[in-house]
Chains A and B, each alone.
Chain A
């Protein structure tokens, strides 16, 4: 391998090393430390001026205490489970909303598709936070939705949506919808329409043709979309803290509170490390799906 290629391959690895592996190492180290009233708020910290003995002492002071603590307080495992539940359910909901949209886009006349694609991406032009705040305005008791429903007379009393799990689902589905639509759209768009005609020709009704041909062929896109929604939704903290209520339990929110309200960096770091370990499973599965798709696409 010549130098130019080494550099070319080396740059992304260096990027990963500096921006992922090193920070992860720091978080892992903090998770093994103890809380302290200091800056930074944990101990031990490494002081190289004291020589080798200090390094030994430093490593001796690290322990798994915080991980043990996570198992004693049921808040944490409940938060993990609740996050898994919310992430799973919102992934399913996003799929239910996103698939028909992607299908409609892929079936639209070719000259419309760029515009439709643009409309899916357009929300990204506005800050994510502003869009979540906008949902607060829509969903609150005096919000646009309630006013509208009261005005047309569907309801007599305003619905309480904001600060409930329903608001969190709405927020997650809304925010991550493009990540579901785009991969599904790209698999559906690639699909040869004569396959559906062939299916009909061989005796399928339209519905059967969808289930026997379209559905299996869009599977890689559906899987990719589900992971792209599930993975960030699992660690989501902005949406539950802004739209969710005090009873909405999500691990991202717990993590945030440990860091900023309790200033307990070691426990917060332990929570983060566990979250990362949980996420490794879907990420590996996602990678495998992408690879299979690439192989089949040859």
Chain B
């Protein structure tokens, strides 16, 4: 969606003149002794689809609940559209939330659920009904309007929850693990629907998820969180290709991590990793100095596998195939190096399985380009 280089792509975070919709400034939230959010600062811009990503307990839900007004920061400032949100109750914010459990009112029909917020605003009946119909159409649930929540499927309930939270046309929509209760296939379909609806309505979305694939798919920017701190905030491409730390590299997708020490920095930086072996070349992260400990990170799909030593590559290691994981579209080879580490290598199955070149116990060479790997601080 973003950062592909063309001018039409929205990247307001790169534009210094752009005023963010949400400003989170040095926000800390403590529950008793426990610090859930630790001095977080973050700007989120209009029409962004922003993902808060992290393992459970990392503080992402707390951060979202503070945007919704269900928690107040212990320290720091949150402004939405220039307005300080410190003492503003949830019912006075132009922010709506889609709850993880959907929180549909079981005693009300689908129609009444969607109308709930509009009615509380005291809108006239014909306006309410027009808006509800519009929302039902948006989520394609026109024929289920009279049903109660327990009479529809999980996927339909998810859409009712979405329609209900969008009905009041909020400036900001918060989505708490919106797809967590759906099975994988439905989840993937719904991810694209969500993006579609976000584009159609032009609403700013902030989504909380622990599913990195989901965050990568839907979001314009992703914030990776751990222990109440933002580890990295960037577009999905940058998060995946240029992770700033081992934590991010490891959390997003699959990665091989080889421990070593820095020999030189800059373009074509080198990491020595084993006695008597050629150093590995890669891009080094900023702030690394020669002689310090570092981790060489290489994604499995960037590694080529061959039975003879590749002559045109400087990054190459030899090992023995320990395991083969067959995933249909891909095969994952686990190759054990004589020095101990097991390197994962992913190869697309262009040919049929019976024509596979390698098998268990084969001696193979793994190689990758000089720029494929990243050298990250420990």
Which residue on chain A has the smallest CB distance to residue B115? A202
Cβ < 8 Å to B, chain A residues 202-218: 202-205, 208, 212-213, 216-217
In the complex, which residues 62-90 of chain B have their Cβ closer than 8 Å to any Cβ of chain A? 68, 70, 89-90
For the complex, is A50 an interface residue (Cβ under 8 Å from B)? no
A192 to B106, CA, bound (A): 10
A198 in contact with B150 given A204-B91, A296-B106 (CB within 8 Å) = no
Chain A, residue nearest B65 (CB): A197
Min distance, Cβ A220 to any Cβ of chain B, angstroms: 10
Q: When each residue 213-236 of chain A gets 1 if its CB lies under 8 Å from chain B and 0 otherwise, what string results?
A: 100110000000000000000000
Q: Tell whether A298 is near chain B: CB-to-CB under 8 Å.
A: yes
B97 touches A203 (CB 8 A): no
A216/B107 in contact, CB under 8 A: yes
When the two chains form the complex, which single residue of A194, A202, A216 contacts B120, counting CB atoms closer than 8 Å? A202
A200 — which chain B residues lie within 8 A by C-beta? 89-91
- In the complex, what residues of A have CB within 8 A of residue B95's CB? 201
A201:B96 contact, CB within 8 angstroms? yes
- In the complex, how many residues of chain B place their beta carbon closer than 8 angstroms to a beta carbon of chain A? 25
Q: Once the chains are docked, how many angstroms separate the CA of A230 from the CA of B323? A: 72
Question: With A and B bound together, what is the CA distance between A201 and B148 in angstroms?
Answer: 21
Nearest-neighbour CB distance to chain A for B157, whole angstroms, equals 13
Instruction: From B70, B89, B99, B120, name the one whose CB has the most chain A CB atoms within 10 angstroms.
Output: B120
Given A203-B120, A205-B91, A208-B120, verify A197-B103 contact (CB < 8 Å). Answer: yes
Q: Which residues on A sit within 8 Å (CB–CB) of B320?
A: none
A199 at the interface (CB under 8 A from B): yes
Tell me the minimal C-beta distance from B141 to chain A in angstroms: 18
Chain B CB within 8 A of A195 CB:
yes
Are A217 and B91 in contact (CB-based, < 8 A)?
Answer: no
Mark A43-79 against chain B: 1 for CB-CB distance below 8 A, else 0: 0000000000000000000000000000000000000
A203 with B105: CB separation less than 8 A: no
Within the complex, the shortest CB–CB distance from B306 to chain A, in Å, comes to 55
B24 CB to closest chain A CB (Å) equals: 19
**A201 with B68: CB separation less than 8 A:** yes
B116, A199: Cβ atoms closer than 8 Å: yes
A215 to chain B, nearest CB (A): 10
A198 to B117, CA, bound (A): 9
- Knowing A194-B99, A208-B120, A296-B150, the reply to whether A201 touches B107 (Cβ < 8 A) is no
CA separation between A221 and B164, bound complex, in Å?
28
Q: Which residues of chain B come closer than 8 Å to A197, judged between CB atoms? A: 70, 90, 97, 99, 103
A200 to B120, CA, bound (A): 10
Task: Assess whether A202 is in contact with B164, with CB atoms less than 8 Å apart.
Answer: yes
Bound: A68/B96 CA distance, A: 67
* B299 interfacial by beta-carbon distance below 8 Å: no
Please determine whether B120 and A201 come into contact, CB atoms closer than 8 angstroms.
no
Between B106, B121, B165, the greatest number of chain A beta carbons within 10 A of the residue's beta carbon is seen for B106
Give the Cβ gap from B107 to chain A, nearest Cβ, in Å.
5
State A212–B70 Cα separation when bound (angstroms).
19
B101 interface residue per 8 A CB criterion: yes
Question: Given A208-B120, A296-B150, are A203 and B91 neighbors across the interface (CB < 8 Å)?
Answer: yes
Determine how close the nearest CB of chain A comes to the CB of B292; give it in whole angstroms: 47
The answer on a CB contact under 8 Å between B99 and A202 is no
Q: Which residues of A contact B120 (CB under 8 A)?
A: 202-204, 208
Residues of B whose CB lies within 8 Å of any CB of A are 68, 70, 89-91, 95-97, 99-101, 103-107, 116-117, 120-121, 148, 150, 164-165, 168
Report A's interface with B, CB cutoff 8 A.
192, 194-195, 197-205, 208, 212-213, 216-217, 296, 298
Known: A200-B91, A201-B117. 9 other contacts (CB 8 A): A194-B103, A197-B97, A198-B103, A199-B105, A201-B68, A202-B96, A202-B117, A203-B117, A213-B105
A-B contact pairs, 14 of them (CB 8 A): A192-B101, A194-B103, A195-B105, A197-B70, A198-B99, A198-B103, A198-B104, A198-B105, A200-B91, A202-B91, A202-B116, A203-B117, A216-B107, A298-B150
